[in-house]
Amino acid sequence: MRFLLIFGVAFGGLLSACAQQQAGSLHPYDYTIEKNITAAKGAVVSAHPLASEAGVLVLRQGGNAVDAAIATQLALAVVYPGAGNIGGGGFLVAHLKNGRNIAIDYRETAPAKASRDMYLDSAGNAITKLSLDGHLAAGIPGTVAGLFASMKYAKLPFSKLIAPAILLAEKGFVITAKEAESLNHTREEFVKLNTVPTAFVKEVPWKAGDTLVQPDLAHTLKLIRDKGQAGFYEGETADNIVSEMQRGGGIITLADLKNYKAVERKAIAFQYKGQTIVTMPLPSSGGVCLQQMMMMVENYPVAKWGFQSPQALQLMIEAERRAYADRAEFLGDPDFVKVPVARLIDPSYIRSRMSTFTPGTAGNSDSTKAGLTKESEQTTHLSVIDADGNAVAVTTTLNGHYGSRTVAGKAGFLLNNEMDDFSVKPGVPNMYGLVGTEANAIAPGKRMLSSMTPTIVLKNNKPIYSLGTPGGATIITSVFQTLMNTLEFGLSPEDAVNKPKFHHQWLPDVVYVEPGFPEEGVQALEQMGYKIEKRGPIGRTELIKKDLKTGQLQAAADKRGDDGAAGY
């Protein structure tokens, strides 16, 4: 499907010839949304077509997949302010052409002044608003440190990679109807939660075709370009963040910012029927849970049962239930808590977990004691595969839509509300029904548990898929289902991404289905005893497939949003 944004005539004149030249193939005032493309050399897919184009631009300039991932993330921080960010955090998983797997953790950390009970009132009740709205909700941003940690694997100078983002912020870009609606929807919160005027609020409502210009953000991006990581974690930008904290009752200090470090971790790699799945380890729960779920279904004839058959649906739901129960009980930041990962993925443990699976009869979550941290669903994913066979999958987040909705003063970027991914009150449900355990309790410097699951699939040590999605707690089940859709059910990239998904997260003991989920499937599950709840769209999956015989790339951008694929 091809969408044409027809604002070029009205707004094209605003971008000078010089700026347009610098932007290369970027057309911020006149762009199309390509959902499904094929490409011979390189492909990028992300939540916004201009960000995907920024990635392809650096591929064309001789950059590799890591360069493209860096440029795409920076562009997303401008054109997709709801989740793209420099004020949040993320994870990068890559398979390099030399055969190495990489996992870079740039998850936010709790400030040094954070404490376990910081969101409880004097009676010990959780005040969840504080971990969601405004200054106190923000963790120390990790994205910029993550970008510089990724530079070790890039080819081009950082100044080239950040150039499209600077231009998009400085000269602006035309917004879509969805972005206009989203900014209007959040207007009141932007006004309430900010101490300085922001680029996201204007006198009259936003509409499709308006130009969003972010001069303060452009200035911050230039500081990062000129001073590197210190352009964010020290000096003017750090001062802006800390002054904003002081104006709004936040606790992030200059020392917190200076001490932040991205961490390179050992990627999870496991076998699934002749393929290697490479994915993110803790502090994301994604990789461990994905491995558990794939191990739980591996020995059943799911392909024979067929896509969305009652048998396959039930098996996958029961795998999801069990993995999420373990998530709630055991998973947290491995630098702070001892997590029994080896036991959780031990084949005999997986067999014992599935020993209670009864085909045709719904399981139940009653006997399990611990809780699950429900997460907000605004995160964003991008995938890249380049001509050399490097593959990158990156998922980043502000947590909620537009994060804390608080801009870091004159620095012009939104701060995350990632503190809410901690268990605000371990072991006890809070006012929104959120529960968790000690493993994910708040502690200074600790990383909050994530569900982000950037994933690459290898065949004979060569990448054949790069994929991932936003969606909070639904991220892991969406990646699981997309992998099953491709590896077991043989769906095309487009169908694997867009066919309706379902989600079970142990508690509540409900199967969520999204719009378009087949009624026959709902009825079959209800007959087995499942409680079904219809909900809104699940995730925004991005996927690139590489055909190892022809070298052709197929990139599929999720139809659920403005997501766009680009290639050359």
Residue positions forming the annotated binding site: 107, 397-399, 421, 450-451, 472
Comparing CB distances to ligand GLY, the nearer of 44 and 83 is: 83
Report, in Å, the least distance between residue 2 CB and ligand GLY: 31
Distance, CA of 545 to CA of 552 (rounded, Å): 8
Binding mask 500-539 for ligand GLY (x = CB under 6 A): ----------------------------------------
Report, in Å, the least distance between residue 476 CB and ligand GLY: 9
Answer yes or no whether residue 399 interacts with ligand GLY by CB under 6 A: yes
Residue 469 dihedral angles phi and psi, to the nearest 5°: -160, 155
E runs forming strands in 116-202: 173-174
Comparing CB distances to ligand GLY, the nearer of 479 and 511 is: 479
Report, in Å, the least distance between residue 81 CB and ligand GLY: 16
Paired sense of beta strands 36-39 and 553-557, if any: antiparallel
Report, in Å, the least distance between residue 398 CB and ligand GLY: 8
Report, in Å, the least distance between residue 449 CB and ligand GLY: 8
Answer yes or no whether residue 472 interacts with ligand GLY by CB under 6 A: yes
Amino acid (1-letter code) at residue 495:
D
Q: Which residues of 303-325 are buried (b: 16+ CB within 10 A; e: fewer)?
A: eebebbbbbbbbbbbbbbbbbbb
Collapse the DSSP code of 34 into the 3-class scheme (helix H, G, I; strand E, B; otherwise coil) and give the result: strand
Interacting positions 401-460 with ligand GLY (CB under 6 A): 421, 450-452
- In the chain, the largest separation of any two C-alpha atoms, in whole Å, equals 66
User: Which entry of 143, 276, 373, 379 is annotated as an active-site residue?
Assistant: 379
Q: Is 379 a catalytic residue?
A: yes
Answer yes or no whether residue 36 interacts with ligand GLY by CB under 6 A: no
How distant, in Å, are the alpha carbons of 198, 227, 489 from that of 359? 55, 59, 20
* Site residue total, ligand GLY (CB under 6 A): 10
Comparing CB distances to ligand GLY, the nearer of 199 and 267 is: 267
Comparing CB distances to ligand GLY, the nearer of 219 and 504 is: 504
Closest residue to ligand GLY, based on beta-carbon distance: 450
Closest CA to 220 of 90, 49, 384, 407: 407
Amino acid (1-letter code) at residue 154:
A
Distance, CA of 380 to CA of 396 (rounded, Å): 5
How distant, in Å, are the alpha carbons of 233, 253, 506 from that of 258? 5, 9, 39
Comparing CB distances to ligand GLY, the nearer of 78 and 475 is: 475
Provide the annotated binding site for L-glutamate. 107, 397-399, 421, 450-451, 472
How distant, in Å, are the alpha carbons of 27, 73, 119, 223, 471 from that of 380? 22, 9, 27, 24, 8
Binding mask 351-390 for ligand GLY (x = CB under 6 A): ------------------------x---x-----------
Comparing CB distances to ligand GLY, the nearer of 143 and 276 is: 143
* 253: DSSP letter: -
Looking at the DSSP assignment, which residues form a beta bridge with residue 466? 456, 544
Report, in Å, the least distance between residue 452 CB and ligand GLY: 5
Distance, CA of 283 to CA of 433 (rounded, Å): 23
Report, in Å, the least distance between residue 327 CB and ligand GLY: 11
Comparing CB distances to ligand GLY, the nearer of 283 and 409 is: 283
E runs forming strands in 17-95: 32-34, 36-39, 43-46, 89-95
Q: Pinpoint the alpha helices (H) of 457-554.
A: 474-487, 493-498, 519-528
Distance, CA of 340 to CA of 439 (rounded, Å): 11
Active site residues: 379
Query: What residues line the site for ligand GLY (CB under 6 A)?
Result: 375, 379, 397, 399, 421, 450-452, 472, 475
